[in-house]
Amino acid sequence: MENMSSSGRTVLVAEDSVAQRRFLEILLSEDGYTVVPFENGYEALRYLEENTPDLIIMDVNMPYINGLEVSENIKSQENLQHIPIILLSSFEEDISEEMFNNSQANIFLRKPIVSKDFRELASSFLEDSFQPA
């Protein structure tokens, strides 16, 4: 059973850079979200077999399976396709418009991330997905 934060929202972060993953964990945890971190797409997909986070944040360029492929996989699953996905990358050549469209992710952001803007974006996705019990 997941540990629920005060907001009741869970964010999956898939990022192979330890520093970037930790930065996102801290940033989102400070806003009261439960962060579930993974270092690659395979680990994220295994987690999604039994869990449904409220938001997914993924690096595009990860080992084994990239964020675009993971996003496309998630969006093809009826029970997961409603989850908003934010893709991140430092490299412009990582993603074309066609690749982004095929991934069906909600938004693509270029690193480095501006903390305030990113927090507002994450919050807007989490508020949109919020459905009172």
pLDDT tens for residues 44-90?
A: 999 999 999 999 999 999 988 999 999 999 999 999 999 999 999 88
Cβ pair 28, 13 in contact under 8 A: yes
Q: Is the pLDDT of residue 116 over 80?
A: yes
Of 2, 1, 4, 7, nearest in space to 122 by CA? 7
Is it the case that residue 2 has pLDDT exceeding 50? no
**Neighbouring residues of 19: CB distance < 8 A, sequence distance ≥ 6:** none
Amino acid letter at 35?
V
Angstrom distance (rounded) from CA 114 to CA 120: 10
Domain 10-129 classification at class level: alpha beta
- Assess whether pLDDT exceeds 90 at residue 105: no
The pLDDT score that the predictor gives to residue 74 is 96
- Report pLDDT for 99: 72
* Per-residue model confidence as pLDDT tens digits over 11-56: 999 999 999 999 999 999 999 999 999 999 999 999 999 999 999 9
- Global confidence as pTM: 0.86
Looking at per-residue pLDDT, the higher value among 62 and 96 belongs to 62
Q: What is the pLDDT of residue 1?
A: 35
Using CA atoms, how far residue 92 sits from 4, 108, 110, 122, in Å, is 35, 11, 8, 22
